[in-house]
Chain A
Amino acid sequence: MTDETAGGQEAGADSDPRGPGSGPRSGADALIELLAGLAERTAIAGRMLPATTEPLLRSIVEATVTLFDAEAASIALHEAVEDRLVFRVAAGAAGAGAIGVSVKPGEGIAGYVFAAGEPLAIADVGADPRWGRDAAARTGYLPRSILAVPLVDDEGSIGVLEILDRRGGSFGLHDIELATVFARQATVALRAGRLEQDVAAILRSALASFTSADTPSIQETIDLAIERVSHDDGMWRLADAVARVAGGHPDPDRVELVVELLEALERHPGTRAARGRVAARIPFAREGL
């Protein structure tokens, strides 16, 4: 039994050392998977909207205020590190005070809608004295009515769209359903931006892995990764992402690793045709950092 098992592993390793079911995952497998995931996400992000989503979000809340004839509208986004919902954009004279205000997921109206994933409309908000006092203290404005809908897609909730004080009366079912359409627009825009951030996060993990002693060389990893993703031009997307991350955030600790990765990429036979194209996007790479 032991011999058979060992033989099976060897045979698997001979035929495809990185294939599924060919034995325990090695460090190389994990890195390849990471890089492949990075390349795939970057490819998706490349097909979607540019990273700058804030103007689009602002236009969404402005359109929301106009369409609903509301006093204010705002969008709060979930910041994963602090696990807080932070109001990022607002429209309407009464909305400005909300920017920068943050709440815990699951607490308050916005927190509930974010955590439950269900839209909610409240009329006569002032009837809850504690809520009213809290909100007024934080935003300088005490609304009469609130409609909150989650910014949600198949990946989960990423924030909340909140509309305050519709001038024509309280919010009804049709308002809730229409607000979800605006929320969907915001979600699509945000998700594209978040994909870019994901790329940076995955890249950081990948680069951190390269520094540990028992992982394969960068060159070896790149060789394997390119084999895995070359069918979809994914490696070029990866290279672009690396360039963007390094160019946008010249953190000395990360730049060295990024440059090392780019150099390995450029040395790879499969990437030779575009030599210089990647590094050219990072000014400090050309300066030999």
Chain B
Amino acid sequence: MNETSALVIIVAAIFTNNILLANFLGMCSFIACSNQISTAIGLGTAVTFVMTMTTMINYAIYHTILKEGAVLVPYDLTFLTFIVFIAVIAAFVQFVEMFIERFSPKLYFALGIFLPLITVNCAILGASLFMVIRNYNFAQSVGFGFGGGIGWAVAIILMAGLRQKMRYSDVPKPFKGVAIAMIVTGVLAMAFMGFAGMVTIQ
């Protein structure tokens, strides 16, 4: 168990260990949904919310059921970790989807296919798995889930801003679309490398 405070983990998850720009998780929806700032803000908020909540739920399930020597089940069920985490995330996203459809139809249509895509957003599964690998306690897990989500949202909003500005660019044909988006992501990651060493988490 490490002793890093949850606040430090939030800052680290946004700047130094940004889940997208340092670990390159969650690239698919990042590339696909970053054409407009408003969509990016919507998706970023959704990911932050889902990531924070699923990390909490997965923490509870992992420590009461799956872990060896857990309170509720006397067996070592860690081999089920992946499938259980995925199922929890999928169920939770379904819930969020119904919620958004009910309260913000506009955002629902803007997100379109990409809301169900959060289900298989590797950043969200990644956050839950990092929590297990790095032995975070509950407060640290919530901090990591929340910070990771904010970090992902910051990255996609910055990307959307750049892509809006790039409408005035004249990108060579082979680089149009996804290719130039990947290159811009690389430059973003390069800039975020500047924060390396400011705060360190495992």
**Bound pair: A and B?**
no
**What residues make up the interface of A, taking CB atoms closer than 8 Å to B?**
none
